[in-house]
């Protein structure tokens, strides 16, 4: 549990959120003209949630355990974390230190949500509902409204706050970031993450919350229901005990695991939400860039996107995705900083830092059944299924040879390393970008057009984890604006 200092910051952070989350009295969009009754209800809900957190923290005692369960002064590990923190602070401008200095100053991390006070589930659901209903854009009054052709960045966030801190530091140093709308899409409601998001002052920012998460549905679908079949039970035995989804194991004979299905659901929901359901993006015609909490960007990534968009109009009219990331281990910015190549989009190569516009999204959305019925819990593999078997214009990508988006996560849904708290990947990326600094911001791009594009091998079958018909239906229903679960 958090100590007295942490509790004080919780109180101050939630109080600040309450002030910032209230919609302005007037504005250009209908979302800003909420009635006094709605505002009063909103104040009550957030205040009550704050009281719940306060009481839970008080009852938890004065232990100063960090997010990963280790104390702040946990011997050598704690000393290493503090040394790493100082190293990172020295590498970024002082005004960005606030993004790295949280309540727990260690760099410990985890792929799972940190231990939380006992939150009132009803209040969490209501707070999420209010966030999604009000659609408040922070910093809009100071930085101006979103232009229809401005860049929108959507970050999918779970609970790995340390990685998110570093991503924000990298975004804050990007040229042109003040013109961007940053949309943070959460599937876990956490006061410390909310506090961090509300500290963003370098661009316009909005929070949206995936409303069908494991956190908000811990004992029912889409979470784990008591009557669900165990993952490894044989279908014959499942039919005998009559568990809920006995008829629908995946293609490998396994039954659903909510922690894996959630990521694909969240990705599909946020794409629908951003393109089709938000007032601020209703008339948006520009690019939407998709990032995740464990990504890191180069300071010229916005300019690189602009050059790529310009190049496609001249050299590649079939390119409908721009890809800023790569999974290469080494980079040659001297030769490749201004080079980009055209290729068919591949899920395992071009899923990091990808951007597309509403025209491409509409073609993807029309293939909703191919995405939602494909027996694979990965959103990117499902998107490749859509491209290969449904879209009239298959996904073709313009890919930067010198990447502008990097992966810094040591552990995640698919990979577990011996030390998930390592900051080696972050340090490596920062060093790469420091050495490449003089090669960034090219004046133009050199486009490589292969004489004949290699044909992608057909996806014969997916990775499974998506055999349950309830997942198919929930995914499909997310394209309906007024859909309500259950």
Residue matched to tokens 């502008």: 404
| Of residues 322, 189, 253, 316, the one with CA closest to residue 464 | 253
Residue 439, marked binder: no
Residue 407, marked binder: yes
Residue 265, marked binder: yes
Chain centroid to Cα 356, Å, comes to 16
Are 207 and 197 a contacting pair, CB within 8 Å? yes
Residue 160, marked binder: yes
Q: What is the SS3 assignment for 157?
A: strand
Q: What is the SS3 assignment for 300?
A: coil
Residue 264, marked binder: yes
| 47, two tokens | 């205040």
Phi, psi of 184 (to 5 degrees): -95, 120
ω into residue 414 within 30 of 0, thus cis?
A: no
Residue 482, marked binder: no
Residue 414, marked binder: no
- Give the separation between CA 434 and CA 86, rounded to whole angstroms: 18
Residue 157, marked binder: yes
Distances (CA, A) of 200 to 98, 146, 169, 171: 10, 16, 10, 10
Residue 248, marked binder: no
Are 205 and 139 a contacting pair, CB within 8 Å? yes
Residue 95, marked binder: no
Which distant-in-sequence residues (6+ apart) come within 8 Å of 61 by Cβ?
Answer: 1
| 131, two tokens | 């966030």
- Give the separation between CA 427 and CA 423, rounded to whole angstroms: 6
Residue 404, marked binder: no
Annotated binding site for substrate: 156-160, 187, 262-266
Annotated binding site: 156-160, 187, 262-266, 294, 407
Annotated binding site for Mn(2+): 294, 407
């Amino acid at each position: 549990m958090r100590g007295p200092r942490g509790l004080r910051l919780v109180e101050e952070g939630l109080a600040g959120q309450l002030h910032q989350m209230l919609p302005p009295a007037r504005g250009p969009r209908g979302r800003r003209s909420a009635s006094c009754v709605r505002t009063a209800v909103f104040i009550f809900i957030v205040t009550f949630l704050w009281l719940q957190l306060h009481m839970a923290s008080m009852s938890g005692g004065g232990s100063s355990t960090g997010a990963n369960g280790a104390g702040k002064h946990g011997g050598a590990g704690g000393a290493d974390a503090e040394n790493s923190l100082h190293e990172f602070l020295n590498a970024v401008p002082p005004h960005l230190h606030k993004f790295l200095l949280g309540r727990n100053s260690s760099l410990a991390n985890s792929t799972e949500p940190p231990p939380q006070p006992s939150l009132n589930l009803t209040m969490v659901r209501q707070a999420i509902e209010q966030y999604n209903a009000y659609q408040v854009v922070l910093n809009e009054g100071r930085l101006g409204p979103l232009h229809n052709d401005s860049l929108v960045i959507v970050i999918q966030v779970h609970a790995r706050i340390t990685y998110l801190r570093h991503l924000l530091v990298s975004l804050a140093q990007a040229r042109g970031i003040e013109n961007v709308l940053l949309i943070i899409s959460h599937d876990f409601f956490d006061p410390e993450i909310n506090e961090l998001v509300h500290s963003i002052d370098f661009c316009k920012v909005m929070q949206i919350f995936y409303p069908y998460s494991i956190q908000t549905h811990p004992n029912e679908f889409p979470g784990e229901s008591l009557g669900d079949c165990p993952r490894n039970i044989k279908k014959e035995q499942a039919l005998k005990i009559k568990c809920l989804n006995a008829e629908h194991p995946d293609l490998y004979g396994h039954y659903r695991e909510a922690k894996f299905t959630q990521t694909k659901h969240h990705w599909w929901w946020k794409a629908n939400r951003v393109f089709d359901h938000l007032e601020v993006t209703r008339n948006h015609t520009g690019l939407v860039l998709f990032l995740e909490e464990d990504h890191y960007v180069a300071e010229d990534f916005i300019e690189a996107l602009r050059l790529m968009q310009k190049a496609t109009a001249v050299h590649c009219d079939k390119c409908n995705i721009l890809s800023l990331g790569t999974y290469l281990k080494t980079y040659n910015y001297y030769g490749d900083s201004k080079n980009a190549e055209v290729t068919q989009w591949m899920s395992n190569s071009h899923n990091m830092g990808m951007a597309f516009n509403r025209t491409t999204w509409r073609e993807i959305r029309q293939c909703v059944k191919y995405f939602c019925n494909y027996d694979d819990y990965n959103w990117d593999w499902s998107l490749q299924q859509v491209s290969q078997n449904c879209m009239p214009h298959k996904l073709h990508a313009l890919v930067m040879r010198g990447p502008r988006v990097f992966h810094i996560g040591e552990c995640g849904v698919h990979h577990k390393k011996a030390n998930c708290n390592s900051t080696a990947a972050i340090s490596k990326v920062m060093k790469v970008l420091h050495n490449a600094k003089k090669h960034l911001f090219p004046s133009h791009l050199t486009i490589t057009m292969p004489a004949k594009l290699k044909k992608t091998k057909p996806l014969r079958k997916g990775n499974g984890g998506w055999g349950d018909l309830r997942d198919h239906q929930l995914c499909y229903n997310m394209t309906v604006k007024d859909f309500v679960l259950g």
